[in-house]
Structure 1
Amino acid sequence: MNPLTPSPGLRCANCGEELKGEFCHGCGQSIKSVIRPVSHMLEDAGDLFFHMDERIVHTLPPLYTKPGFLTLEYFSGRRVRYIAPFRLMFVFCLLAFFFVHLAFSDVNLEKAASGEAPARDDIAAFHAAATADEVHELYQGQMDELNAARGAPGLPAPAVAAIGLSQDMVREAANRRLAELKSEPIPADTHAEPGEKHGYRHASPWALEPTVVDIAWLPDVVTRRLAVGLAHLKANVAQIQDGGPQKGEAIRRISEGFFSVLPQTLLVMIPVFALILKLFYVFKRRLYMEHIIVALHSHAFLFISLLGLMLLGFAKEGIRPHFSPAATAITLVQVAMWVWMPIYLLIMQKRVYRQGWPMTLLKYWLIGSIYFWLLIFVLCIAAILGAAH
């Protein structure tokens, strides 16, 4: 009779060690194969980004209702039940600013959604023109306004250039509508001076040449990027000062640029806020990483609050025409959320750093004041970057 031999267990495909769990204790490789159906890969990607499992149930309620609880749990080493601080903050930062951007964009879309006719000084008015004569009338009126603006004394060269560009845009919009109406296009100005063919009229050479930034100690690629950004900024500001048809487009570009850089800009504030906490609580002998966790949880709470305020705002606007008492109740909830935000941060600071109320209140006011002015500075930087979009 042959002796019984134990069946060999699973071994790691990478190092050959016997497996006793989901990961090899020799090299750390997972037992899961990457050669799997696409549906499993999408599931893993969603789990990696959102961690939409039972952890979110254990994380969000205490994060919003128990100031400092989640941070103290991390300090105590109880982490597996909760979403990681950085992932939590990052996901809700993106979601919050997505809905904030949507809310600001919705302000500009309200007029279009209401069905009102576009203004006669708007390029969109050409699309509503029913006849070629109406197109010519709109074209002449807009061109007269732009010519009058261009003739203003002391107008800066960038504004003059922007007006010329606006005139070309008006002509192109009018010709597109005339082509749809099967009518003759409006001819371009054949007597244009050099530079006018590109939308610039009576502009100085400085306005016609590209902006040059020459900083010797910076790499060439950085100086070129700065020159492009400065040129965009001047063009956007000039179009806004012009007040012509391109004003709305320039504002839209600046808004898009601002919201595109805002999340990344605010991420810089996380280590800065942690450094402020480190300086104010230097005698607590806490590691800088502990202050980072405090900063991450604080900002995650603020982003969740902002997201909730935006969602409630959308719900209120949808409910108000049908049931105004419910809209009033939502407004009261929003007010309570705004009041809870500073109270939450104060209680969190008291529970995490364990100091008396007088010292906590003093440090809370000083830290809040410093962070407020730093935040204003960062938002101004984001606005400048947005204007250079």
Structure 2
Amino acid sequence: MSHDKIRDHIDCLNCGKIVTEKYCPNCGQDNTESRKSFHYLFTHFVEDFTHYDNAFWKTMKYLLFRPSRLTREYLAGKRKHYVAPVKLYIFISFITFFLPGVLPEIDHDNETQREVRKAEAHKYDYNYEEADSILKASTGRKIPTIGNYSSVKEYDSIQKTLPAAKKGSGIMGKFEKRVAEINEKYTTKEIIEKFKESFIHNLPKVLFLYLPLFAFSLWLFHNKKKWYYFEHGIFTLHYFSFLLLNTMLFLTVSWLLKLMGDNGFLTFLEFILTCIYLGWGFTYFFKAHRFFYGEKRYISNLKSLVLFFVNSFLITVVLLLFIIYTLLYLH
């Protein structure tokens, strides 16, 4: 942008200070004409994208394959060539949130399964027993359900036969009845798909809410004079960004494998992929923790193990509450 026309006026449009050269000495804004041509917009976009692209790919490489390197570089003040931690987390969260809606659903159902789904989808033309008979006649199996009741009618009928002490009541009673309503409305496969969609859709928000708690657990386990909460927070942002990025890549590759078909070899590849995804997600934290905090291997591994189990328990509680919420408000 070195050929942009300098404004005739010497007052900065941003802060009002006197500007004698191209850039304002007070706020740094350029003193060029504010009305731009399409050529300016296009070239400015290319330059910004190229600059961000270089920083982005370097950040992604370190984030995926160099545990804690990105955090150490950032805290050492080398920030110009990397995406800022908060922007990085928001960007990856957005892509992870956006991805399930972009990838089209792949359906490898056989004709019988499609017929059952069709029967359940038209409840006014077919009832549950008719849909059940279709599957029983062709496969000898009943329609699988989530929970113990396939419909509200079945739930109410069974509840009437139970003694008062065994009848569903309170939150659990409402929960069982809600699950029965869901079974009545959707097939098991549709419930699982809707749950997965809702889970992945909201996972970034759940992790974001858990960020301060995870950073606090790191603060508890390390020297308070040597490490500030801010530094634990940056480590947490990068680690959670890695978890989301790892999940996003897993979902994408898994979708591509499903796109190729449904056979034993591809199922085996997906199993291997799942092992790599879970294994790297587990070992990454141990490596990142040891390299970042610079402790002896056995001390770092012990702390990492305790932190892993403590946070696994806490986040499991959060996710269980989220699962209950997802089921109760499944539309």
CA–CA separation in structure 1 for the residues paired with 2:128 and 2:296: 73
Q: Note if contact 1:257-1:387 (Cα within 8 Å) is conserved in structure 2.
A: no
Q: Paired residue for 2:114?
A: 116
**Alpha-carbon displacement from aligned partner over 1:64-96 (angstroms, at most 9, x marks no partner):** 111111111011100010011122122223333
In the TM superposition, what are the counterparts of 1:139-218 in structure 2 within 5 Å?
A: 149=154, 152=157, 154-155=159-160
For 1:16 and 1:363, how far apart are their aligned partners in 2? 54
The DSSP-based 3-state class of the residue aligned with 1:285 is coil
- Structure 1 residues 368 and 102, CA gap change in structure 2 (3 angstroms): farther
Deviation of 1:114 (Å): 8.7
Task: Report the counterpart of residue 71 of structure 2 in structure 1.
Answer: 71
Structure 1 SS opposite 2:159 = coil
Change in 2 beyond 3 A, CA 1:83/1:112:
farther
- Please give the residue correspondences for 1:222-261 in structure 2 after superposition, counting only pairs within 5 Å: 234=174, 237-241=176-180, 245-248=184-187, 251=191, 258-261=199-202
Matched, 1:378 2:318: yes
The change in CA–CA distance for 1:21 and 1:319 in structure 2 (over 3 A counts) is farther
Provide the C-alpha distance between the structure 1 equivalents of 2:255 and 2:116, rounded to a whole number of angstroms: 25
* Residue 10 to residue 34, structure 1, CA distance change in 2 (3 Å): closer
Deviations 1:89-147 (A, max 9, x none): 222233335546888x948x554999832458524376xxxxxxxx5xx47977xx989
| Identity in percent | 19
TM-score relative to the length of structure 2: 0.68
Inter-partner Cα distance in structure 1 for 2:301 and 2:116: 53
Mapped to 2, the partners of 1:151 and 1:326 lie a distance apart of 44
| Corresponding residue of 2:239 | 298
Per-residue CA deviation, residues 312-368 of structure 1 (Å, 9 max, x unaligned), is: 11121223459x767755654553343222222111111110111111011001110
- CA deviation string 1:203-230 (max 9, x = no partner): xxxxxxxxxxxxxxxxxxxxxxxxxxx9
**Partners of 1:260 and 1:325 in 2: how far apart?**
30
Query: What is the match of residue 95 of structure 2?
Result: 95
Q: Which residue of 2 aligns with 1:12?
A: 12
Deviation by residue 1:171-195 (Cα, 9 ceiling, x = unmatched): xxxxxxxxxxxxxxxxxxxxxxxxx
Aligned length: 289
For the residue of structure 2 that corresponds to 1:282, the secondary structure is: coil
Query: In structure 2, what residue type is equivalent to 1:297?
Result: H
**Structure 2 unmatched runs, 5+:** 1-6, 131-149, 162-170
Letter in 1 for 2:91: V
Taking the aligned partners of 1:328 and 1:248, their CA distance within structure 2 comes to 26
Alignment-derived partner of residue 265 in structure 1: 206
Matched AA of 2:157: A
2:182 and 2:328 map into 1 onto residues whose CA distance is 18
**AA of the residue aligned to 1:246:** K
Shift of 1:241: 2.1
Instruction: Give the TM-score, by structure 1 length.
Output: 0.59
Matching residue's letter, 2:185: Q
Shift of 1:293: 0.5
AA at the equivalent of 1:152: S
Instruction: State how far apart, in whole Å, the 2-side matches of 1:123 and 1:310 are.
Output: 28
How much is the aligned-residue C-alpha RMSD, in angstroms? 4.5
- The answer as to whether partners of 1:58 and 1:82 remain within 8 angstroms in 2 is yes
- Give secondary structure in 1 for the equivalent of 2:177: helix
What secondary structure is seen at the aligned counterpart in 2 of 1:62? Answer: helix
Unpaired runs of 5+ in structure 1? 1-6, 127-134, 157-229
Partner of 1:83: 83
Higher Cα radius of gyration: 1
